[in-house]
Amino acid sequence: MQKQIQSASSTKKIQPTSAVLIANPTSGSYVDNKKQVDETVQFLQAQGWDAHLQLTQRQGDAGRIAREAVERNIDVVVAIGGDGTINEVIQELAGSETALGILPSGTVNVWAREVGIPLENEAARDILLQGQRRRIDLSKVDDRYFLLMAGIGLDAEVTHEVEQKPAKKLGVPGYLLVGLWKTLTFKGFRVYLHIDGKKSIKAHAMQIVIGNTQLYGGAIKYTWQAKCNDGLLDVCIARSQDLINTLLMGIDVLLHRRQRRQWVLYETCKEVEIRTRHAITIQVDGDPSGFTSERGVINVSKELC
C-alpha cells in the first residue's frame, strides 16, 4: 500500500496546511533540541500552517497520535525522531491521505538520508514547506509495515543485543562493537525461500536483507538496486562464509564494490515466503521484531494501491 510522503527533491511550495508534530520528550535528541522543536512549530505557524506539537507519554503513543490525525483528516504528520519513530507512525498512515513529514533526530536517520532530507533542523523544516508530496511503496512482514528494510539473521542479532545492553547509549559505536562481536560468533542458518510463488531457493545464510530502499545503516547498500516506488522487493541473501571471507564480504559491501555480488544471492519480487528450521531473529526498520519460529512461515510482500 502506498502513502504520501514529503520529499526534498522539489522546489514546489506546499500550500498552508494542518500538521501534527510528534516527539518523545524523554529521548535525548528531544531534550537537546527542545528549543529547535518549539521554534519549528512557531515557524510553521508563521507560514500559515495549523501546526501543533504532541508529546508521547508511553510506548505506542506515536501510533495513537498518528491514527487520531488520520481520523481528523490532518494533512501532515511530522515525525520528530529516528527510523523507529517513523516506523511506528507509518503503521497508521498507510493507505491514508495524511502525508509523512520528517524532522530527523535519531541515531542514523536512514530514511532521511535515503530521500535527501537534511539532518539539520532548519534545513529539514524548510523541506516541509518546499518539498513535493510523493506516493511510495510500503512493504510488510506479516502484518507489520516497513519503510526501509527487514533483516533476518546477523543484523537482527545485533539489533536485539543492542536493545538489551548499555551499548545502545553509545549510538553508532555501540552497534559497531556488538556487530563485530556477533560477526565473530554467529554461525549462520539454513533457510528456504519461495519467490512469488514460483521460484524456490535453499541456502545457508549469514543474513537476509529484504529492502524497500537501498541504504542500510546510513552507508551500506545490501539491496543496492532497490527503489521505494517500483512495486518490487529486493532480497539480498548473504551466504554464510568462514571468518576471513565474512570480513572480506563486509568490506566489499561497505565499499559498494562490484565484488559483493560473489558473496550474495540477489532477487527482486513482489512477495517472498521464508522458512527457517530454528528460531532466527528478525528486525524491521532497525528495531527488534521477534523470531522466525514464532511465526512458522514469514511472508514479506510489497503493498500497492
Task: Note the pLDDT tens digit of each residue in 176-197.
Answer: 676 677 777 788 899 999 999 9
Residue 242 sits in a domain whose CATH number is: 2.60.200.40
Considering the domain boundaries, does residue 177 fall inside one?
yes
Contact 284, 144 (CB under 8 A): yes
Question: If pLDDT is split at 50, 70 and 90, which confidence band does 167 have?
Answer: low
The total of structural domains in the chain comes to: 2
Any idea which residue has 516541509 for its cell? 128
Examine the fold and report which residue of 136, 158, 190 is the final residue of a domain before the chain moves on: 136
181 and 277 part of one domain: yes
128 and 172 part of one domain: no
What secondary structure letter does DSSP report for 220? B
Examine the fold and report which residue of 110, 136, 162 is the final residue of a domain before the chain moves on: 136
Q: How far does the chain reach from its first CA to its final CA, in angstroms? A: 5
Rounded to 10 degrees, what is the CA torsion of 244, 248, 249, 253? 160
Q: What's the number of CA atoms in the CB half-sphere (13 Å) around residue 291?
A: 9
153 and 282 part of one domain: yes
- Sign of torsion over alpha carbons 145, 150, 153, 157: negative
Owning domain of residue 168: 148-303
130 and 156 part of one domain: no
Question: If pLDDT is split at 50, 70 and 90, which confidence band does 168 have?
Answer: low
Considering the domain boundaries, does residue 234 fall inside one?
yes
pTM to 2 decimal places:
0.85
Segment 123-147 mean pLDDT: 90
**Nearest alpha-carbon partner for 25 in 80, 65, 93:** 80
Res. 173: pLDDT tops 80? no
Considering the domain boundaries, does residue 64 fall inside one?
yes
Look at residue 106 in the predicted model and tell me its pLDDT: 85
- Tell me the C-alpha distance between 137 and 228, whole Å: 5
Segment 223-233 mean pLDDT: 93
154 and 296 part of one domain: yes
Most confident region among 51-65, 127-141, 172-186, 205-219 by mean pLDDT: 51-65
pLDDT greater at residue 68 or residue 218: 68
158 and 289 part of one domain: yes
Look at residue 151 in the predicted model and tell me its pLDDT: 95
45 and 121 part of one domain: yes
Look at residue 180 in the predicted model and tell me its pLDDT: 72
Q: Where do the DSSP E strands lie in the chain?
A: 3-7, 18-23, 50-55, 76-81, 99-104, 132-136, 138-141, 144-146, 149-153, 189-195, 199-211, 233-239, 264-269, 271-276, 281-284, 287-291, 297-303
Considering the domain boundaries, does residue 143 fall inside one?
no
Segment 231-239 mean pLDDT: 94
157 and 279 part of one domain: yes
Question: If pLDDT is split at 50, 70 and 90, which confidence band does 165 have?
Answer: low
Percent of the chain's residues with pLDDT above 90: 54
The mean predicted confidence, pLDDT, of the chain is 85
Considering the domain boundaries, does residue 207 fall inside one?
yes
**Nearest alpha-carbon partner for 280 in 251, 245, 237, 243:** 237
pLDDT greater at residue 132 or residue 271: 271
- Mean pLDDT lowest among 19-33, 79-93, 193-207, 225-239: 19-33
Q: What is the largest CA-CA distance in the chain?
A: 59
Q: Which bin fits 210, alpha (ψ -120 to 50), beta or left (φ > 0)?
A: beta
Segment 159-182 mean pLDDT: 68
- Tell me the C-alpha distance between 284 and 299, whole Å: 13
pLDDT in tens, 263-291: 889 999 999 999 998 899 999 998 889 89
Res. 1: pLDDT tops 90? no
125 and 154 part of one domain: no
130 and 166 part of one domain: no
What secondary structure letter does DSSP report for 186? -
114 and 152 part of one domain: no
Contact 274, 193 (CB under 8 A): yes
